[in-house]
Amino acid sequence: METARDRCVIVHYHEISLKRGNRPLFLRRLQQNLVRALEDLGAPRVTQLTGRILLEPRPGADPEVVVERLRHVFGLANLALAERTGTSLEELKRGVDRVTQGRTFASFRITARRAFKTLPHTSVELNRELGAHVLGRHATRVDLEQSELNIHVEVLPGQAFVYGDRRPGPGGLPVGVSGTVAALLSGGIDSPVAAWRLMKRGCRVVFVHFHSVPYLPDDSIRKARDLAERLTRWQYYSRLYLVPFGEIQRSVVLAVPGPARVVIYRRLMMRIAEALGRRAGAAALVTGDSLGQVASQTLQNLACIEGAAGLPVLRPLIGMDKLEITAQAQVLGTFETSIEPDADCCTLFVPKHPGTRVSREEAAAMEARLDVAALVAQGVEGAREETIAFPAGCGPFPAKENREARAAGSRPR
């Protein structure tokens, strides 16, 4: 008789298996993230198996909600709601019956894998026996190339798992294994995609948003919050720094010629974001720059802007065009928010014809007219920190786990 514990989720990972010496750390963080994703549904039981993870949701948890949550956990190659059975042929047949019960499918195949090699039947024999069993109960046919239903059977020591609908995971690395970065988050299309791509590489992202309230309405702040909330479901806990930048821009306008102002603004943003990022333990900055997209993103201007930062500047979108970035934003679900009209700090005190080739020497000469240290301190001290959690109510990861992630960066992978 089927029990609640017969239903489970089988999670497969791919890239993590290549990490060798750091694999235990990566797997431990992946398991922590799986639990965090379902925290408000009741902590699931998580068991490490050979090459896969077994996750047992709490009784009463909606299976579709569980699967949807897990599809936002970086590090997963695929996952499936599975039936757990014994390893005998009769028990496997009963598991196949539960997977196919109530379903109609024009074609199918059995994909059996044995990690338990002492089982009397080989994988080929299991495919044949279980396939014949399905043919005896359903009006269907075998199609090994383009089957409508692929019934997976995984036989492990002492237990087996049968499932039919394997769903793709997001891939990448578990958030937290690559340390922390600080992302400059505008209300536009590019920067949320850039932040997401760093999460996919295992980074926890701190968001820094520059606004020009009260010179402009607070629409950009609302958009930044909305975008940060949507991105937080991929990393579970976020810090958002809201930096008032209008007065700083005003000081630049009074001292710097129009064509160079955008570059000077961006250099000041880099310094402020770096200071706030270091406060949160960030080891790099992230921007949504795409080469040649706007005047500030020419090679010379990018080099000039980066020269103001004391941390590495990561640009995951640098070789992507606007259509590629927009398509990624639409898949991610940030596009609709990003295109809502707003007035962000980039529209304040911006010249009609910004310079495209500002050298570091020219920037240094113009910054000599400013009290750069005071302007940076003004931005840092004026920043308001907000925290965002998903699921609601969860807090940051313990400091011990963050130290482990930083230590992993110094060990060979």
- The structure's pTM equals 0.89
Sequential pLDDT tens for the chain (413 residues): 444 457 899 999 988 877 777 888 999 999 999 999 998 898 899 999 988 999 999 988 999 899 999 999 999 999 999 999 999 999 999 999 999 999 999 999 999 998 877 778 899 999 999 999 999 999 999 999 999 999 999 999 889 999 998 999 999 999 999 999 999 999 899 999 999 999 999 999 999 999 988 877 788 999 999 999 999 999 999 999 999 999 999 999 999 998 899 999 999 999 999 999 999 999 999 999 999 888 888 999 999 999 999 999 999 999 999 999 999 999 999 999 999 877 666 666 666 777 788 999 999 999 999 999 999 999 999 999 999 998 876 777 655 554 444 444 434 33
Question: Which has the closest alpha carbon to 127: 102, 103, 110?
Answer: 110
Q: What is the pLDDT of residue 18?
A: 74
Q: How far is CA 114 from CA 20, 122, 198, in A?
A: 23, 8, 36
Q: What is the pLDDT of residue 254?
A: 92
Q: What is the pLDDT of residue 268?
A: 97
- Cis bond leading into 341, ω under 30°? no
CB 51 within 8 A of CB 27: no
Q: What is the pLDDT of residue 30?
A: 95
The number of helices, as runs of H, and strands, as runs of E, in the chain is: 14, 15
Q: What is the pLDDT of residue 409?
A: 44
Q: What is the pLDDT of residue 14?
A: 82
Question: Which has the closest alpha carbon to 174: 319, 286, 76, 43?
Answer: 76
Q: Is 240 helix (H, G, I), strand (E, B) or coil?
A: strand
Q: What is the pLDDT of residue 22?
A: 82
277, containing H or E segment: helix 261-279
**Burial of 268 by CB count in 10 Å (0-12 exposed, 13-18 middle, 19+ buried)?**
buried
Q: What is the pLDDT of residue 308?
A: 96
Cα separation, 355 vs 371, in Å, equals 22
Q: What is the pLDDT of residue 403?
A: 46
Cα separation, 232 vs 220, in Å, equals 18
pLDDT, tens digit (0-9, with 9 covering 90-100), for 254-264: 999 988 999 99
163, containing H or E segment: strand 159-163
Q: What is the pLDDT of residue 135?
A: 97
Cα separation, 242 vs 225, in Å, equals 9
Cα separation, 130 vs 122, in Å, equals 12
